[in-house]
Chain A
Amino acid sequence: MKAPKLWSLQSKSILVVDDFPGMRSMMRGMLSAYGADDITDTSNGEEAIKRMHDKSFDIVLCDYNLGEGKDGQQVLEEAKEDNLLPYSSIFIMTTAENSMEMVMGAAEYQPDDYLSKPFTKQVLQTRLKRLLARKSSLRKIASAMQKKDYSHALSLCKKQLALQPGNRFELLRLKGELSIKAQHFDAAAAAFAEVMAERELPWAKLGYGEALYHRERYEEAKSTFKELIKSNPNYVFAHDWLARVYKKLNEPEMAQEILTEATEKSPKAVLRQRALAEISYQNEDLDSAEEAYRRVMRLGKNSCYKSPTDYASLSRVYLQKGNNAEAVKTLASMKKEFQRGKSGDRLHAVILEIMLYKDMAREDEARKGISEAMKLFRNNPGGLNTQLAMDLASACYGLGLKEEGDEIVRHIVRNNHEDQAILDGVQSMMEDCGIGDSAADLIAATRDEVIALNNRGVEMATNGALQDSIKLFAQAADGMPENLVINLNAAQSLIMFMQRYGAVPEFLEQTQAYLVRAQSLNKPSQKQDKLQTAYRKLVTSLAKA
């Protein structure tokens, strides 16, 4: 036997999640044998998420089956959604079952590896060794991805591919996925096609079809997904995408059929059940919609995908079936379920409740809801997104509460002052409510306010009053988190300040937050790319200093 290599888990932070105490102490023993000195363990998923909020881990070893509460897949999903697991970290799902079962249950995210029980120390070591090596070769790309700087991640990816590396397929997959995120759909298709030329791997064909879908080449996308399903009948992701294609092709019945098939094969994924519920409702198949929504609620109980919308939608289904008693009961359980939740969720629930009471012609309850919603909104304006704000404003106007309606409309316009489609939407919503006359003035006045504020900030910056400009834009961005221009200018004034006086970590962090927010609005622009580049330069300058 060769002499043991110098490999150690020393100073790696490791989280072990298993409901079986004997298993936890065994894992501790195995990991310590390889030098691990920073191990946390916990018996359930809820606790695991808390620990990950407190501290970021390099390695998470999580059992799939955790008894009551969240299962391993739900832990993974929530950790990813809450940004607790950067691409550089390792998530291994340990399991006593066939791993394919879990792959089938997965919707959005998959772990880096599955490890089936029983496993020995050596197996654990080899897997960790390989994963750590793999992740470290992708370290730079991962850090760009964490900052949602996809164009930079992409160029790093291309550079690595040019070196003809051993993990070429993995890089091509990353390149494809990043290209889709950066909306370079032709490049994405090319990356996936390169893999397919050598081997028709399901993920490559799926990605290829996805790129076609985004290019709006729906017929080609349809045949791609159909072929994929034919050769891999259990690859449920292909069903998800085929259903999306059918929706675009205006064949909602087919979409429902394909999603029904997919949920039968993989019944545990909440998002897939929700898609089925929505399409069934759209097809006026109320029985199927009811069943699917009930499954969504049952499966969503411990899931981060739990949403008040599902309760409201089910309530609406009952309403249309003439079952008002069940509708009201569902609303009550929604309020109960979300009363202690995030304020955004609470506001969401109340708005849905208002709309349903309005439909039921129970005006008193609807009015009560509106005053509650306004209170929540004034406490935290950032928690009200444009879509819901439209519903709330329309409900206010419908009940003759013009003042409240105007307040909400101003919020919408402030957040979207340059988005003509949304401004038109506000206009026609107000027309539908019979107050179209005052719409144009209200919209224009609010928009001018934002423009004036923006100009003032820009002027401060150009005159060198950078700190004033930073303060003004920061305040503005708090009130209008969805406003692209304001967020970008907030980032720009910070960048200008640092270009003049040197980079500081605190400002870099703030800049990144504004850029990430702008990125999440999904309206790519040249200005954004330029700011990203400038930001990167500042980061490097700080690192060198």
Chain B
Amino acid sequence: MSNNAQKLDFATVIASAVHDMKNSLTLLLDTLDDTASEQSIAATPLQEKLLQAQHEGKRLNRNLIQLLALYRLERRQLFINITENGVAELLEDVAMENQQLLDARNIKLEIDCERGLIGFFDRELISGIVNTIINNSYRYTKNTIRLSGKNQGRYLCIHIEDNGPGYPEKMLHGESNTDSPIDFQTGSTGLGLYFAAQIARMHSNSECHGYTETSNDGINKGGKFSLFLP
């Protein structure tokens, strides 16, 4: 018998632990979702607290996914699955997932994307990235987040802008440099951006690779995150 079959490596341990944690998270989030949607607590402070808890639960989940994905990436075990996807549908899906949370804080979410715009990417990973960035914006924006998608030359670009104070100096960069280690002092945002840059890079089409950009060209000089996919 081959050795592979018997060796219980760390990747397997992580995978099965994650499997368990995700089952728990699914139930937890579903319970929160149901409770927060109760008519009797609509627009009360209790509802806002529950939505907050839900928000934290989702963050926990995203971190879990990113951690596992980065671990796999390092061991060259992360594969992406590029398929044909509607960009407007993707943005609408992500918007809908966050609708309730944003509504509770009176944050307006705008989508600017032509119907029928097609992109080629790993749907799960890219929607995970957009989700992460929206959640960053949620924490910093004044009252608006704008999602937009369009073709630009050989790239599909997805922008996520807000009208908050913008990214701090040390997190601003033009075209992402995935080789340089990043500063994790800044908290989870750092991990999220690093993850986004790595995943963008894995998307390629005839020698072109994807990349990310952060700038303060958002609404009223707010933060702007851009994802370029070939």
Residue numbers of A with Cβ under 8 A of B are: 1, 20, 22-23, 26, 29-30, 65, 96-101, 103-104, 114, 116-123, 126, 130, 166, 169, 199-202, 234, 267, 291, 294-295, 298
Contacts and interface: CB of A to CB of B under 8 A. Distances in A.
Interface in B78-96: 78-82, 84, 89, 93, 96
Contacts of A201: 82, 84, 120
Contacts of A114: 124
A126 B93 CA distance: 8
B120 A199 contact: yes
Contact of B33 (A99, A116, A121, A291): A121
Nearest to A233: B79
B50 interface: no
16 contacts: A26-B27, A65-B19, A98-B68, A103-B79, A117-B22, A117-B23, A118-B25, A118-B26, A120-B33, A120-B97, A123-B97, A126-B96, A199-B205, A200-B206, A291-B1, A298-B1
B96 A122 contact: yes
Contacts of B28: 118
A294 to B, nearest CB: 6
Residue of B1, B27, B80 ringed by the most chain A CB atoms within 10 A: B27
A104 B61 CA distance: 24
Given A98-B78, A118-B25, A126-B93, A26 B18 contact: no
B96 A20 contact: no
Given A30-B30, A121-B33, A298 B5 contact: yes
A319 B206 CA distance: 51
Given A200-B205, A294-B1, A26 B81 contact: no
B29 interface: yes
B116 interface: yes
A65 B18 CA distance: 12
Nearest to B89: A130
Residue of B33, B72, B81 ringed by the most chain A CB atoms within 10 A: B81
B15 interface: yes
Contact of A117 (B5, B26, B99): B26
B97 A22 contact: no
Interface in B154-171: none
B4 interface: yes
Residue of B2, B79, B116, B120 ringed by the most chain A CB atoms within 10 A: B79
B107 interface: no
Given A97-B18, A130-B89, 14 more contacts: A23-B26, A96-B20, A96-B23, A98-B68, A98-B72, A98-B78, A99-B81, A100-B81, A118-B22, A118-B25, A119-B26, A120-B29, A169-B84, A298-B1
A100 B202 CA distance: 14
A199 B229 CA distance: 13
Contacts of B113: none
Contact of B79 (A29, A100, A123): A100
B33 A22 contact: no
Interface string B96-121: 11010000000000000000100010
B147 to A, nearest CB: 16
B69 interface: yes
A65 B16 CA distance: 10
A440 B145 CA distance: 84
A30 B37 CA distance: 13
A105 to B, nearest CB: 12
A122 B93 CA distance: 9
Interface string B184-219: 000000000000000000000110000000000000
B61 A118 contact: yes
A294 B30 CA distance: 43
Contacts of A120: 29-30, 33, 97
A534 to B, nearest CB: 38
A118 B81 contact: no
Nearest to B33: A120
Contacts of A121: 30, 33
A267 B4 contact: yes
Contacts of A126: 93, 96
Nearest to A130: B89
A488 B205 CA distance: 49
B115 to A, nearest CB: 9
A119 B93 CA distance: 12
Contacts of A116: 124
A1 B30 CA distance: 21
Contacts of A101: 79
A122 B28 CA distance: 16
A103 B69 CA distance: 16
A290 to B, nearest CB: 10
A50 to B, nearest CB: 25
Contact of B23 (A22, A98, A122, A202): A22
B27 A22 contact: yes
Contact of B30 (A26, A103, A202): A26
The 10 closest A-B pairs by CB, nearest first: A118-B26, A96-B22, A96-B19, A100-B79, A117-B22, A234-B79, A117-B26, A118-B25, A100-B81, A118-B29
Contacts of B206: 200
Contact of A23 (B5, B23, B33): B23
Residue of A23, A96, A199, A294 ringed by the most chain B CB atoms within 10 A: A96
A267 B5 CA distance: 10
A504 to B, nearest CB: 44
Contacts of B68: 98
Contacts of B33: 120-121
Contacts of A23: 23, 26-27
Nearest to A127: B93
